[in-house]
Amino acid sequence: AMMDDFLKDVVKSKLTPQQYDHFLYMFEGGKRTRPKLIKSICEHYNKSWQELKEAMVAVEVLHCASLIHDDIIDNETERRGKAPFYKKFGQDAAILYGDLFITLSFGTFLESYPKEICTAFTRCFREITEGQLMETHNSIKDLDSYLTYIRKKTASLFRLCAEIPFIHHRLHDKKLLGAALEFGLLFQILDDLNETKTEKYTIKNFASEAEINQLVEEKKKKLEPWGLFSIEEFISLPKRA
C-alpha cells in the first residue's frame, strides 16, 4: 500500500484530475512487480531506493500504458478483474491515454535522470514495441521465436528495472542484468501457465509440459544465487497436477 500511495502521489502531480481518474482505472489491481524489483535490487546492494522513486513511477506508468495498447491489439475482454481500458472508455481514448502515459513516463525519466538511463529506457520501450510487432507480423512460430517474443515484450522491462539502479548507483555486477532478464522470462512463462483462457501466444502452444518444466527449473536454478529474485514473492506459482 505504501508503494501504491507514493506512486499515485507522483502521478497525480503530473496529470489533470480527469486524466488522473483514467490512470487510476488502469493502475488499480496491479501487483507493482516492476517498481518492487527496483526497490529490492537497491536493498540487496544496500543502496538508496528513494533516489529512484521517479524511475519506479515511470516504469509502472509505462507498464500501464503498454497494457492499455496490448488489450486493444489482443481484443482482451478482461484486465485486472474488470473491463479493459478500451472497453470502459472506448478505443480512441485508449489509444490516446496509452500515448499520454508513455510521454509521462518518458518525461519523468528526462526530468530526473542522466542520458544513460534515458537511453536504456528508450531501448527498452523499443523492444517492448518490437515484441508486440512480432504478433502483428505473425512471426511467432516455435519455441525459439516465442522466447525472443517474451524477452522483448516482457523481460526487457525487468532488465530495465535492474539497469536503472545499476547505472544510477554505479554497480559493477554485470551479471545482475542477465539475472533480471531471466527473471522476466520466468515471470512470463509462469504467467502463461497460470492463464486459464485460451491464448494464441503462450508457451503451452510451443512446448510440451516436460519441456516447459525443464525450462522453468533451468531458469530457477540460474536465479538461485540471487535471493532478491524470489519468484514466489512476485507471482503465485501455478498449481501443477
Residue with cell 512446448: 207
DSSP 73-84: HTT-S-BTTB--
Specify the pLDDT at position 172: 85
Q: Are 201 and 149 in contact (CB under 8 A)?
A: yes
Q: Minimal CA–CA distance to 109: which of 180, 42, 59? A: 59
Q: Minimal CA–CA distance to 61: which of 17, 16, 12? A: 12
Q: Are 61 and 104 in contact (CB under 8 A)?
A: yes
Specify the pLDDT at position 206: 95
Q: Are 156 and 147 in contact (CB under 8 A)?
A: no
Q: Are 237 and 190 in contact (CB under 8 A)?
A: yes
Specify the pLDDT at position 230: 62
Phi, psi (rounded to 5 degrees) for 78 = -150, 145
The one-letter code for the residue type at 45 is Y
The radius of gyration of the chain from alpha carbons, rounded to an integer in Å, stands at 17
Specify the pLDDT at position 3: 87
Give the Å distances, CA to CA, from 139 to 69, 145, 198, 202: 19, 7, 19, 14
Specify the pLDDT at position 231: 55
Contacts of 103 (CB under 8 A, 6+ apart): none
Mean pLDDT by 10 residues, the chain (241 residues): 89 96 93 92 92 96 96 92 95 98 96 96 96 94 96 97 96 88 93 84 93 91 74 50 36
Specify the pLDDT at position 239: 45
